[in-house]
């Protein structure tokens, strides 16, 4: 009789986990008791103080420290908060809460690290006022001098906590030896317009985030604004695309007394003219190893997926790694892949050979295949950039348009979208391949080059890449075989966005798989109604195995909608975009003159 324990059978299955990258690492426990100090006030060079909680092994010795710091309330990072949340909530739980992102204190401390959770200046219990320019440098060096610290500091935490890590690396504190900024903030400005609002489409994530904001604010009666700001405010108050949303109108009407950061973005929804040059200068100041990444969740955290790739590609000359996990958000309170985090820090802060630099620098989860793969760079060097051309009757094909042939002169496809004040229906055009003859691995950035006209001076282009199938149907003229069957499984993979007025391209920075739009006020240009323009739409990176018999599909739309009431959403941090307040007629062309096509990163696929 087989007496193997049940859990060993489960382990033998080697079930893949989208948030547990291989090869696995099990750092030993060094203590079981945790010493803690709450609300410690660390002095900065100008006399202001930052509030922090310190958790460390309750034993003799000096230990490396991992700092988690953000504008989020540090009370969300406490062990009692984790206990109250039953230690973890999956992304589909209605009790999932994004701000608990500072790391698993119990796991880190019992394995020989001090875990320091702090608030930035002007947030929570930290002092406000003064200049925060060197706070991260000062705090890291303060931690390194403490009697329980061995002088080596790393950082931990996702989202805003990850943004602070790159900010600290730019300041170059001597005791900061490595960082692990997963779900990093935007590269071109921490909350930069480019990474946060791909294609220049304003969305409502900041509005949703503000419910748990602990930044210090002085809220009073709306008054007169400085002349330059007042001019922009009047312009915004005349914008019907803003005013049809009552929640957005309220932010504007209060003149920055509520949600001041979002108010500023509504008034100036553009990239600064010099942001690229300033960011490139910041990148040159990063001289320590970093391990960044994000998940395949383009439906909400766009800046994390975009920012991690921009940092990885832009910073040169240091050891660096890139990790892409699955499409579900990480559990909260955050404790995912802490074994990988300590595999990184045991190498850099404890001097152990964990093998982490012996594997390829890129590790990514492949949806559809449900397995991990490795790469030597990103985009993957072996990528075969493949064009799929839009065709009438909702088709995608590999052949281009034949000069002089009839299919090169087809009429446009058309959809009409009414605004959300008049409908809950999202209109679309759909284009699909035939069922694929073999498994096809798509991994990397994507672009759609769309030739189109509209009858207004602006619209949103929203492109959704899907895996549809399996589909064993045959389309003929026989009854029942005319249409693609209804009810086929559909799985959304990623999205792309472009505001039509932001269609201008920077040819020097653009690549075929990554069109680069300036997104500045200077480059912004309303559309001439009826004019056919090319819209180069960046679609956020993904990795998916389209299995034989499945279809590659794109939907082209112009709006998405809040799924809650009064402009809210029923899932935290899944924002909708502000769309046109007018009914817009969209015409999509696919001819020799207007060769609309998709650029896909097809990767040679070896099963197993």
How do 63-70 and 149-155 pair as beta strands?
parallel
By three-state DSSP, how is residue 195 classified? Answer: helix
Largest pairwise CA distance in the chain: 85
What is the token pair recorded at 250?
């309220």
Q: What is the pLDDT of residue 209?
A: 75
End-to-end CA distance of the chain: 32
Contact 553, 388 (CB under 8 A): no
CA distances from 438 to 69, 71, 434, 548, 550 (A): 47, 48, 11, 4, 9
Query: Model pTM greater than 0.85?
Result: yes
For residue 401, give the DSSP letter: P
Band of pLDDT at residue 16, cut at 50, 70 and 90: confident
What is the token pair recorded at 283?
């990148």
**Could you report the per-residue pLDDT of 227-268, keeping only the tens digit for each?**
999 999 999 999 999 999 998 999 999 998 888 889 999 999
Residue environment code for 142-180, b if the CB has 16+ CB neighbours within 10 A, otherwise e: bbbebebbbbbbbbbbbbbbbbbbbbbbbeebebbbbbb
Cα radius of gyration rounded to whole Å, the chain: 25
**Could you report the per-residue pLDDT of 492-538, keeping only the tens digit for each?**
999 999 999 999 999 999 999 999 999 999 999 999 999 999 999 99
157 pLDDT higher than 80: yes
Distance CA 352, CA 538 (A): 41
Q: What is the pLDDT of residue 128?
A: 94
563 pLDDT higher than 90: no
Q: How many CB atoms lie within 10 A of CB 568?
A: 14
Band of pLDDT at residue 13, cut at 50, 70 and 90: low
**Could you report the per-residue pLDDT of 352-376, keeping only the tens digit for each?**
999 999 999 999 999 999 999 999 9
What is the mean pLDDT of the segment spanning 288-299? 94
Distance CA 266, CA 162 (A): 25
Among 524, 575, 529, CA closest to 211 = 575
86 pLDDT higher than 80: no
Distance CA 312, CA 324 (A): 12
Q: What is the pLDDT of residue 8?
A: 43
**Could you report the per-residue pLDDT of 458-470, keeping only the tens digit for each?**
999 999 999 999 9
Sheet containing strand 34-43, edge to edge, reads 34-43, 49-57, 114-119, 63-70, 149-155
Among 173, 155, 368, 194, CA closest to 274 = 194
Among 105, 31, 112, 19, CA closest to 64 = 112
- Helix H segments across 268-336? 275-283, 302-314
Greatest mean pLDDT range, 6-20, 80-94, 573-587: 573-587
Lowest mean per-residue pLDDT among 3-17, 41-55, 480-494: 3-17
Distance of CA 568 to the CA centre of its chain: 20
By three-state DSSP, how is residue 46 classified? Answer: coil
If you average pLDDT over every residue of the chain, what do you get?
92
Among 465, 93, 442, CA closest to 298 = 465
Contact 337, 515 (CB under 8 A): no
Contact 271, 518 (CB under 8 A): yes
**Could you report the per-residue pLDDT of 328-358, keeping only the tens digit for each?**
999 999 999 999 999 999 999 999 999 999 9
Distance CA 155, CA 51 (A): 17
Contact 544, 293 (CB under 8 A): no
């Amino acid at each position: 009789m087989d007496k193997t324990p049940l859990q060993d059978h489960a382990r033998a299955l080697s079930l893949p986990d989208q948030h547990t990258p291989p090869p696995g690492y099990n750092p030993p426990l060094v203590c079981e008791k945790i010493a803690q100090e709450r609300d410690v006030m660390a002095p900065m060079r100008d006399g202001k103080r930052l509030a922090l909680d310190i958790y460390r092994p309750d034993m003799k010795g000096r230990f490396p420290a991992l700092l988690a710091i953000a504008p989020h309330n540090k009370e969300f990072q406490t062990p009692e908060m984790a206990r109250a949340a039953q230690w973890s909530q999956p992304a589909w739980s209605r009790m999932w809460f994004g701000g608990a992102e500072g790391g698993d204190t119990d796991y880190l401390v019992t394995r020989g690290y001090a875990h320091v959770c702090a608030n930035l200046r002007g947030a929570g219990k930290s002092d406000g006022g003064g200049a925060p320019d060197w706070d991260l440098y000062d705090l890291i060096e303060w931690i390194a001098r403490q009697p329980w610290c061995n002088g080596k500091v790393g950082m931990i935490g996702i989202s805003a906590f990850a943004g602070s890590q790159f900010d600290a690396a730019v300041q170059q504190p001597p005791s900061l030896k490595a960082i692990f900024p997963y779900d990093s903030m935007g590269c071109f400005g921490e909350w930069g317009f480019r990474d946060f609002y791909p294609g220049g489409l304003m969305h409502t994530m900041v509005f949703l985030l503000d419910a748990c904001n602990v930044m210090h604010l002085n809220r009073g009666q709306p008054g007169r604004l400085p002349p330059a700001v007042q001019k922009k405010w009047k312009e915004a108050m005349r914008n019907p695309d803003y005013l049809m949303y009552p929640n957005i109108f309220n932010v504007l009407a209060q003149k920055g007394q509520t949600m001041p950061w979002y108010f500023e973005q509504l008034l100036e929804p553009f990239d600064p003219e010099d942001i690229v040059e300033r960011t490139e200068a910041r990148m040159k100041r990063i001289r320590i190893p970093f391990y960044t990444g994000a998940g395949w969740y383009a439906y909400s955290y766009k800046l994390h997926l975009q920012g991690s790739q921009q940092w990885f590609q832009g910073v040169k000359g240091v050891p660096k790694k890139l990790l892409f996990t699955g499409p579900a958000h990480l559990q909260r309170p955050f404790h995912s892949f802490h074994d990988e985090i300590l595999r990184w820090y045991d190498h850099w802060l404890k001097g152990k050979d964990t093998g982490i630099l012996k594997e390829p620098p890129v590790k990514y989860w492949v949806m559809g295949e449900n397995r991990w793969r490795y790469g030597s760079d990103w985009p993957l060097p072996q990528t075969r950039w493949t064009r799929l051309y839009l065709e009438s009757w909702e088709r995608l094909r590999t052949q281009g348009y034949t000069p002089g042939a009839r299919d090169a002169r087809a009429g446009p496809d058309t959809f009409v979208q009414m605004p959300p004040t008049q409908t809950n229906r999202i209109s679309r055009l759909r284009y699909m391949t035939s069922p694929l003859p073999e498994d096809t691995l798509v991994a990397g950035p994507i672009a759609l080059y769309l030739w189109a006209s509209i009858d207004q001076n602006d619209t949103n282009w929203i492109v959704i890449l899907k895996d549809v199938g399996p589909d064993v149907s045959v389309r003929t003229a026989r009854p029942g075989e005319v249409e693609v069957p209804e009810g086929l499984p559909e799985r959304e993979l990623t999205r792309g966005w472009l505001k039509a007025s932001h269609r201008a391209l920077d040819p020097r920075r653009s690549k075929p798989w990554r069109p680069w739009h300036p997104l500045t006020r200077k480059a912004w240009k309303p559309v001439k109604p009826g004019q056919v323009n090319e819209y180069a739409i960046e679609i956020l990176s993904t990795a998916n195995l389209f299995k034989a018999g499945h279809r590659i599909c794109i939907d082209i739309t112009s709006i998405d909608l809040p799924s809650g009431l009064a402009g809210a959403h029923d899932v935290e941090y899944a924002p909708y975009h502000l769309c046109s307040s007018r009914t817009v007629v969209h015409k999509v062309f696919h001819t020799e003159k207007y060769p609309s096509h998709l650029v896909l990163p097809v990767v040679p696929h070896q099963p197993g």
